Amino acid sequence: MSENQPKKKALGSVVVNAERCKGCGFCVEFCPPRVLALSEQYNSKGYHTPVLVEPDGCTGCNMCGLLCPDFAIYGFLVAKKKK
Amino acid sequence: MKADPKGVQTGAFFIDGDHACAEGAIAAGCRFVAGYPITPSTEVVERIAERFPLIGGLFIQMEDEIASSIAIQGAVWAGKKAMTVTSGPGFSLMMEHIGLAAMTETPCVFIDVQRAGPSTGLPTLPAQGDMMQARWGSHGDYGIIALCPNSPQETFDLTIKAFNLAETYRVPVLVMLDECVGHMIERIIIPPADQIDIVPRRFTNIPPGEFRLFEPKEDMVPDMVKAGDGYNIHVTGLTHDERGYPVMNAAAQEKLVHRLVDKIRLNADRIVEYREDEIEGAEVVVVSYGITSRVAIPAIEEARRDGLKVGHLRLITAWPFPEKRIAELSRTIKVFVVPEINYGQMVREVERCAAGRARVVLVPHGGGSVHNPKDIHCAIVDCRKDIRP
Amino acid sequence: MSEDTIDTCETCVPVNAVEDVLRMERMPHIWCPGCGIGTTLNGFAHALETSGLDLRKVAMVSGIGCTGRVSGYLKLDSFHTTHGRALPFATGLKLANPELKVVVYSGDGDLTAIGGNHFIHAARRNLDMTVILINNFIYGMTGGQVAPTTPIGATASTAPHGNFEEPFNLPYLAESCGAVYVARWTAFHIRHLTKAVKEALVKKGFSFIEILAPCPTLYSRRNRLGDGLDQMKHFRDDSEIRNGADTKTVGLDFQGKIVVGKFVDKDKPTYLDSMNAFYAAKWGDKYTPYKG
């Protein structure tokens, strides 16, 4: 990749409430740009919780948030900082 | 508060107990009835079905008694006074939901026009075989109120009272008729609406957010609300805390269920009602209820003519049972005679409260008709041997 | 830093809107990891939140079972009733106050086994309510017993050698009893099911939505179907959307093809419409239409 190529702009991001997560994996599997993964870390109940492994690729579509059975993750569109 | 004149059919009528019950419910402000036909109670809902559409009430014949007994609770939580009506087999089906109403403190009225059982029994003939079931029929511990009218007039009056007690104690209330009282035709007087006292639902004035649906006031009874007012209530049959949220432990069970029992038990002095006749100085007291209380009268009068001092105590509330009065009487009288159209139900309460201090004689009858007054008379007269020195 | 990069600012992070309609103080909920009920609740909450309805007037009634616990997590007037009897309770609630929007949200065993009689009559009456049935093919809460929806060949704790009973085809049952809106989706079809809920909420009459959901702990484990995610993948890979399909043809086999879609959407007078029209025809001005 050329150093002169502009960095990809993340359209969105996610909020993870790790303590609520039960590690089901729905968000990871059904994320359309596949930017989530279950982390090596785990919460106090022992579940591996999701983490944004490619933050720049998140579109903010909130498919993770819609599917999550535990209300442990949701996505949102990031507000752009105007020039 | 007085009755809404719109429903009250003031006047003198020659009708049976079932019809009187319907009129009593209407006078009390009941505007939702769900029922299922079962002899000998059906006439209650037939009259309701006829009267309701033009007075703003809604009657629905549900698919079974189980549905009826919970549909009325939905209606109560929507803000209405509601009632269902049945007889023995349906009463058995309704037991789970009587427990639900007790657990969720849903004020509603259940009418049981008793017939001979067990099972299908004698659908068109009287008995008093559901009395213990009225108290203990649903699983678990809870308090409940049951009233026993002995005439169509009294059925009218006690049905109103049932609604009033339900609202006062946020509890299901049972009216235990029998086929005789339900089908006997007598003159009843329906007074003008402004002479009928009704107890309105005790809706809270605590705002949403602060109000707790199962937090009792000093009388052990919580205030009520209805759906649609922004309280976001949660009502569950699971053991719950004062917010209504399920709490699965023994401490929560103790706190809630003990109060459900005590709510009626410790308020018993204000609820218990009975009628007494010539109790003063009596040696024998006949304890009766429902139609049997009328059948007992000629027997008692003849025994009095024979020289016996016989008193008559008639239960208006079968539950809570007048424990204190029976215990008190057991210290001064010799014998309780308990005629009932069953093989011994309320007699057990008399025995329990007499605690061996007075003899208790049951005059049973399997059902299918009322007692022959001679049998009650014989039992009373037989008590001479307890009385003569 | 280049001007083209994004500055994420803390104050720009929105809250999860669905939390407004949930009793967040009761989270985490009781459902297992990978259970689909939470997903359906999520969709339902989202539908409520974006429906524009006055949520004070929306009441939720559930029965007993894992799905029945939904009522404890929604911030509405919610009623957790007895097993199988959510529909008659809802009948009383709705008919006593027709202004309420009543939703019945319960499981397959609760609504069609013990509650079967009430189901067919509520549909027959075309009561104005929305019924959301979560079908996980099993009685989950009590340990995985066979249900009227368990497919032939699947095992359950009370059919340990395999189920040989024909299961219900629920959309067919609902349609034949008189439901005016019948749809089936799966927990995977989250956007579709959310849209269906929104449609059903405003639809007049008996609206029925069957939503298939994984039960990883019991149904999947017993039948060696993997976990909740595996079942969701099956929903994704083996579903076919056929809106308007003949409900006779949408029965389900064990891990077979799943027909999803909106099958029925028609108009018929509701119970109260019929009642009021009938009495008005009979009595004219003497009759005041019943409004609660």
* Residue C58 bridge partners (DSSP): C101
Mark whether C and A touch (3+ CB pairs within 8 Å): yes
pLDDT average, residue stretch A19-24? 96
- Nearest residue on chain B to C71, alpha-carbon basis: B234
Q: Per-residue pLDDT for C204 more than 60?
A: yes
Is B185 found in the same domain as B160?
Answer: yes
CA distances from B171 to B160, B227, B239, C143, C194 (A): 15, 18, 16, 34, 39
Is B55 found in the same domain as B6?
Answer: yes
pLDDT band at C14 (very low <50, low <70, confident <90, very high): confident
Is B311 found in the same domain as B266?
Answer: no
- What is residue C1's predicted lDDT score, i.e. its pLDDT? 39
Smallest CA-to-CA distance from B178 within B380, B365, B379, B377 is with: B365
Q: What CATH number is given to the structural domain containing B131?
A: 3.40.50.970
Domain's final residue, options B250, B271, B292: B271
C226 backbone φψ class: left, alpha, beta (φ>0; ψ -120 to 50) = left
pLDDT average, residue stretch C166-185? 98
List the structure tokens of B50: 């006829």
| CB within 8 Å: A78 and C4 | no
Is B291 found in the same domain as B226?
Answer: no
The least confident of A77-81, B299-303, B311-315, C8-12 is: C8-12
Q: Does residue C200 sit at the A interface (CB-CB below 8 Å)?
A: no
| CB within 8 Å: A69 and C38 | yes
Domain that holds residue B325: 274-387
Surface of C (4-43) touching A: CB under 8 A: 4-9, 12-14, 16, 18-19, 22, 24, 27-29, 31-39, 41-43
- Residue matched to tokens 């909106």: C262
Q: Rounded to an integer, what distance in angstroms lies between the CA atom of residue C217 and that of residue C203? A: 35
Residues of chain B found within 8 Å of residue C286, distances taken between Cβ atoms: 54
Return the residue in C25, C82, C111, C125 with the most chain B beta carbons within 10 A, the one to mutate for interface testing.
C82
DSSP SS3 for A41? strand
Q: What CATH number is given to the structural domain containing B367?
A: 3.40.50.920
Instruction: Give C266 to chain B, closest Cα distance, Å.
Output: 25
Q: Per-residue pLDDT for B389 more than 80?
A: no
Domain's final residue, options B234, B254, B271: B271
pLDDT band at A1 (very low <50, low <70, confident <90, very high): very low
Is B156 found in the same domain as B26?
Answer: yes
pLDDT single digits (tens) B142-176: 999 999 999 999 999 999 999 999 999 999 999 99
| CB within 8 Å: B74 and C94 | yes
pLDDT average, residue stretch A63-77? 97
- Residue matched to tokens 């509650």: C115
User: In the complex, which subunits touch C with 3 or more CB pairs below 8 angstroms?
Assistant: A, B
- What is residue B383's predicted lDDT score, i.e. its pLDDT? 84
DSSP SS3 for C117? helix
User: Which residue among A30, A66, A76 sits closest to C13, beta carbon to beta carbon?
Assistant: A76
Is B284 found in the same domain as B266?
Answer: no
Q: Per-residue pLDDT for C76 more than 70?
A: yes
Smallest CA-to-CA distance from B312 within B348, B336, B347 is with: B336
Q: Per-residue pLDDT for B34 more than 50?
A: yes
Q: Rounded to an integer, what distance in angstroms lies between the CA atom of residue B29 and that of residue B47? A: 15
Q: Does residue B231 sit at the C interface (CB-CB below 8 Å)?
A: yes
Q: Rounded to an integer, what distance in angstroms lies between the CA atom of residue B73 and that of residue B68? A: 9
Total domain count, chain B? 2
Domains of chain A (ranges; CATH) run 12-74 (3.30.70.20)
Q: Per-residue pLDDT for C109 more than 50?
A: yes
| CB within 8 Å: B34 and C79 | no
pLDDT single digits (tens) B186-223: 999 999 999 999 999 999 999 999 999 999 999 999 99
Domain's final residue, options B247, B271, B295: B271
Is B160 found in the same domain as B48?
Answer: yes
Is B305 found in the same domain as B163?
Answer: no
Q: Give the residue with greater pLDDT, A81 vs B16.
A: B16
- What is residue A81's predicted lDDT score, i.e. its pLDDT? 54
Is B244 found in the same domain as B356?
Answer: no
Residues of chain C found within 8 Å of residue A13, distances taken between Cβ atoms: 8, 13
- What is residue B388's predicted lDDT score, i.e. its pLDDT? 67
Is B283 found in the same domain as B267?
Answer: no
pLDDT single digits (tens) C254-279: 999 999 999 999 999 999 999 999 99
* Residue B50 bridge partners (DSSP): none
Contact B208, B231 (CB under 8 A): yes
Smallest CA-to-CA distance from A63 within A6, A14, A1, A10 is with: A14
Q: Per-residue pLDDT for C9 more than 60?
A: no
Instruction: Give C209 to chain A, closest Cα distance, Å.
Output: 18
Residues of chain C found within 8 Å of residue A9, distances taken between Cβ atoms: 4-6
Model-level pTM?
Answer: 0.95
Contact A50, A27 (CB under 8 A): yes
Q: What is the DSSP string of C55-89?
A: GGGEEEEE-SSTGGGGGGTBSSEEEE--TT-HHHH
Is B278 found in the same domain as B261?
Answer: no
* Residue B178 bridge partners (DSSP): B114
Write down the ipTM of this complex. Answer: 0.96
**What is the fold, at CATH topology level, of the domain defined by C35-286?**
Rossmann fold (3.40.50)
Q: Per-residue pLDDT for A5 more than 60?
A: no
Is B176 found in the same domain as B78?
Answer: yes
Residues of chain C found within 8 Å of residue A10, distances taken between Cβ atoms: 6
As a whole number of Å, the CA-based R_g of chain C is 20
Q: Rounded to an integer, what distance in angstroms lies between the CA atom of residue B375 and that of residue B382? A: 10
Amino acid at B332: T
pLDDT band at A9 (very low <50, low <70, confident <90, very high): confident
